[in-house]
Amino acid sequence: MPTSRFDVMEKSLQITIIVSIAIIIIAISALAITIPFKQTTEANYASPQKREFWLFNSEIPKFNEIKMGMSHDVFSMSTITVNKGDNVTIHFFNTELPGGDPHSFTIEGKTYDVNIVLNPGENKTVSFDATTAGVFPYECTFHQPTMQGQLIVLASGQP
């Protein structure tokens, strides 16, 4: 039976309506996901705050130190992000067993001069005010180049 021009136009209109509804649903879903995320992110960057971090040594699994010619040790966090004005507390733990390696948490420089050296099983806490924005590398002086990270201090109002 031949299809009339009216039937083709009706079918085309139905497809257009279905596609339009699908696009609207996708847009509303994306908006519903984005708005709470943006609010949560902005709340996390409100300054100044007291911020605490727990940092410890870890190991890259299945890493052959001898073959690679470098340490398999890494920090549990490769990035610590705070805002300018925040009070920062870092609890550093050496989780090595007795007879294991010492580890350090070292930020060199005039801005944040931190050097904590721990023997196996020891821990120490350091606190400081994040007075200068920028990126400040930290490292374990015993296990380079793998055991390193960055302290990122965001300028006021920067998300």
32 plus 60 within the same structural domain: no
**Is 159 contained in some domain?**
no
Element (H, E) at 38: helix 5-44
What integer pLDDT is reported at residue 12 of this predicted model?
74
55 plus 36 within the same structural domain: no
Range of the structural domain that residue 36 is part of: 1-44
What integer pLDDT is reported at residue 110 of this predicted model?
86
How does residue 41 score in pLDDT terms, banded at 50, 70 and 90?
A: very low
Give the chain's largest Cα–Cα span: 88
38 plus 55 within the same structural domain: no
**Is 39 contained in some domain?**
yes
117 plus 64 within the same structural domain: yes
Up-side HSE of residue 11: CA atoms within 13 Å toward CB?
6
Nearest to 103 by CA among 52, 51, 55, 151: 55
Give 58 or 133, the one with higher predicted confidence.
133
What integer pLDDT is reported at residue 90 of this predicted model?
96
72 plus 108 within the same structural domain: yes
**Backbone torsions φ then ψ of 37, nearest 5 degrees:** -65, -45
pLDDT digits (tens, 9 = 90+) for 51-105: 999 999 877 667 666 666 666 788 899 999 999 999 999 999 999 999 999 999 9
92 plus 147 within the same structural domain: yes
138 plus 74 within the same structural domain: yes
Taking the C-alpha atoms of residue 66 and residue 118, their distance in angstroms, rounded to an integer, is 24
40 plus 94 within the same structural domain: no
Percent of the chain with pLDDT strictly greater than 90: 46
8 plus 55 within the same structural domain: no
Residues 87/48, Cβ–Cβ less than 8 Å: yes
CATH of the domain at 121: 2.60.40.420
Q: How many domains does the chain contain in total?
A: 2
What integer pLDDT is reported at residue 99 of this predicted model?
93
71 plus 131 within the same structural domain: yes
> 0.75 exceeded by the pTM?
no
What integer pLDDT is reported at residue 40 of this predicted model?
44
What integer pLDDT is reported at residue 27 of this predicted model?
65
